[in-house]
Amino acid sequence: MDGIDRARGFERPRRSFSRSVSRSMNKKSWSIEDVFSGASHSLRNSHVDEDEEALKWAAIEKLPTYDRLRASIINSFMDNEVHADKMKHKKVDVRKLDLDDRQKFINRFFKVAEEDNEKFLKKFRNRIDRVGIQLPTVEVRFNHLTIEADCYVGTRALPTLPNVVCNIAESALGLLGIRLAKRRKLTIVKDASGIIKPSRMTLLLGPPSSGKTTLLLALAGKLDSSLKVTGKITYNGHRLNEFEPKKTSAYISQNDVHVGEMTVKEILDFSARCQGVGTRYELLTELAKREKDAGIFPEVEVDLFMKATAMEGVESSLITDYTLRILGLDICKDTIVGDEMRRGISGGQKKRVTTGEMIVGPTKTLFMDEISTGLDSSTAYQIVKCLQQIVHLTEATILMSLLQPAPETFDLFDDIILLSEGQIVYQGPREYILQFFETCGFQCPERKGTADFLQEVNLSTNTSIS
């Protein structure tokens, strides 16, 4: 009996062990089946989403050209928990995008301004290159440019009431060729020659009073008529008197002049409506025609963005929300700008609003004067980085003046123009500027930023480097 009981005792744990193993195997097989069923379910959902999107595109392609350029698809995920992974495709009129749709679009595709902006611009460029369209570019050249001004000397140059009266009288007599007061000729820019290439970021460096602002104004065609200009400035070989430079280029001033009662978003919306859409609509028309002939369906987000930014006369455009995000102004978009009598945004934010006023427009040739004044190095780097991505991927032309950029910001530029007392000391690639100064006898010390070294060399009065 003892042997039989002992055998039964050994058999019970063996049976319980076999039952536990079979239970665990059943659970394991169930979990594997569940995983495969979930994967097949998500695969079916993706196929359904693609089919639904293709049907939407087919319906849009059947529309007339005018209606087709105004219709697009906006994607969003279902709000309920049951179909949270299912994509919802909605056909929209890009002229009637509401605030909620625009905000969802920006939050989804531009979460991190620097990284997501580059990804989106690459998708935009891929769409352009896929059908063989070349973006229009502008190359700015200036040859033997000299800018002079006639200035009063001594107390006659002071802005007093008697001097103002004398100036008015002398200007009237000057029409008759009579000059009473003696003036001295001041040369602001002297025999400068250079080229601003598209798809390359160009930095204009120089100490204060070196002629940077005057050079930028001259290249933008916005010089004061009282200045005497000699030399030649051309855009793609055309002189400034052969076209309207204000429609081709934009000058961004270092002075922040805004309407204090308006909010940041209102200012950018107003600027976008005033500047229009330029060649965006013509580009979109040709792009849609070639894609239809080739049977190509564009990416939804790129198509929506291009169509929404090509519509003229829209009260609030998607390009405004995009500009607010890349400049970091979306946190204060509903705050008034303010002035001396009204409290508004900070000085650094005002500087970014000044930059954003021109970026929202269609102009691809920008002359930017001290846009980093009042900004910390991190914010300045972010803005210059986004501008660099726009230049490289959309073939824009930018000449930017900065007083003392940080090393990481300096490395974002492709070409450097170094100005000293109205004369160009160096113009060329950023990589060769230190080598150039080494041949002139100037060695950059270790652990010193290149921009700081160039400014110190420029300010040197003991050695002439020109």
What does the alpha-carbon distance between residue 331 and residue 316 come to, in Å, rounded to a whole number?
A: 17
The pTM assigned to this predicted structure is 0.80
What does the alpha-carbon distance between residue 183 and residue 149 come to, in Å, rounded to a whole number?
A: 9
Tokens found for residue 398: 């930018």
What are the distances in angstroms from CA 53 to CA 47, 50, 83, 425? 10, 5, 17, 57
Do 419 and 212 form a contact (C-beta atoms < 8 A)?
yes
Distance of CA 96 to the CA centre of its chain: 25
SS3 140: strand
Query: Could you tell me which residues are beta bridge partners of residue 189?
Result: 147
SS3 109: helix
pLDDT (tens, 9 = 90+) of the chain, 466 residues, equals 444 444 444 444 444 444 444 444 444 443 434 433 444 444 444 444 566 667 776 777 777 777 777 778 777 543 444 444 455 667 788 888 888 888 888 888 888 887 888 999 999 999 999 999 999 999 999 999 999 988 877 777 788 888 888 878 877 777 776 766 677 888 899 999 999 999 999 999 988 888 999 999 999 999 988 899 999 999 999 999 888 888 889 999 988 888 889 999 999 999 999 998 888 889 989 998 898 888 888 888 888 898 888 888 788 888 999 999 999 898 999 999 998 888 989 888 898 999 999 999 888 899 999 888 878 888 899 999 999 999 999 999 999 999 889 999 999 999 999 998 889 999 999 999 999 988 888 888 888 888 888 888 877 643 444 4
DSSP 278-337: TTHHHHHHHHHHHHHHHT-PPPHHHHHHHHHHT-TT-SS-HHHHHHHHHTT-GGGTTSB-
Element (H, E) at 123: helix 113-130
What does the alpha-carbon distance between residue 258 and residue 352 come to, in Å, rounded to a whole number?
A: 12
- Sign of the alpha-carbon dihedral angle for 224, 138, 291, 54: negative
What are the distances in angstroms from CA 444 to CA 407, 409, 448? 14, 18, 7
What does the alpha-carbon distance between residue 351 and residue 341 come to, in Å, rounded to a whole number?
A: 19
Tokens found for residue 233: 């400035």
